[in-house]
Each structure stands twice: as C-alpha cells, then as structure tokens.
Amino acid sequence: MEEKIPKEELIRIIKPLIAEQLSEFIREYELKAKEISLIERIIRVEEELKAQREIIASLQREMNARFEALQREMDKRFEAVDKRFEAMEKRFEAVDKRFESLQREMDKRFEAVEKRFEAMDKRFESLEKRLSFLQWLMAGGFTFVSILITLINFLK
C-alpha cells in the first residue's frame, strides 16, 4: 500500500511544516545566540572595567609619585627659605648688637659731655663769685674813695 503522493502535493504539505519548524529552530537559536552575545558583551565589559581599573591604579601611582616629588621639592625650597630667614635673623642680631654698642658709646660720650658742662658750670659759678666779690670790692673802693674825697674837700 504504498501510495504515491505527487511531488507537488508533497511539497505543498511539507513546505509549511518545514517553514514552521525552521522558524521555531531560528527562534530558539536566536535566543541562544542573544544569550551568547550578552555573555560575550558582559565578558568584554568586565575586561574593559579591569583594564580601566589597572589604568586608574597606574595613574594613581604616577600621581602619588608626582605629589611626593613635588612635596620633596617644596620641602627643599622651604628649607632654603628657612636658611635665608635664619641668615637674616643673624644679620638683624648683629645690627642689634651694633646699635647697642653705639648706644653705650653715645651714653658714655653724653656722660662725658655732661661732666664737662658740670665742670664749666662750677667754673662759671666760681667766676660769678669772683666777679661778685670784685663788684663789691670796687663798690666798696669807690665808696671809700668818694667818702675820702668828700672828707678831704670838707676838711679843706
């Protein structure tokens, strides 16, 4: 009992079945392909994140090295500035010592000048006493001479 089905009829029957099976097969494998594609993308993203982390870590190491170098350079500059300030402070101390010695020397000179003025004051006082004595002596002498002349004139 083998029946022979014409070829066209067979194609007409098989064609929708094959199309249906083929579309189902494609849908299944598209889902699987999408899953595989998603997994591949996730793997690529993870690898890229890992590469980014490595780049960031290397940048951080480089930045730390630069900051340390800058810190060392700034420390050296601050030490140089500190040395300059210390040198200036020593100069100011030397100038202060000079001013103090000049002040002491001027004080001594003023004391010497003051002593000279005191000596001159004493000399003027003694000269004033002498002149006062001479003034009184001359006044007494003129008075005596006047009295003597008057007496001589009166007695004549």
Residues 65-105 have pLDDT tens digits of 999 999 999 999 999 999 999 999 999 999 999 999 999 99
Q: What is the reported pLDDT for 71? A: 96
Cα(113)–Cα(105) distance, integer angstroms: 12
Q: What is the reported pLDDT for 94? A: 94
In the predicted model, residues of the chain with pLDDT beneath 70 are: 1-2
**The dihedral sign for the CA sequence 108, 114, 118, 119:** positive
Q: What is the reported pLDDT for 2? A: 61
Amino acid at 111: E
> Hey, is 73 helix, strand or coil?
helix
Cα(114)–Cα(121) distance, integer angstroms: 10
Give the tokens for residue 14: 């098989």
CA distances from 8 to 15, 44, 68 (A): 10, 51, 86
Q: What is the reported pLDDT for 103? A: 95
Q: Which residues contact 13 (CB under 8 A, 6 or more apart)?
A: 5
Q: What is the reported pLDDT for 118? A: 92
Residues, the chain, total? 156
Q: What is the reported pLDDT for 68? A: 96
Give the tokens for residue 103: 């002040």
Residue 4 is given by DSSP the state P
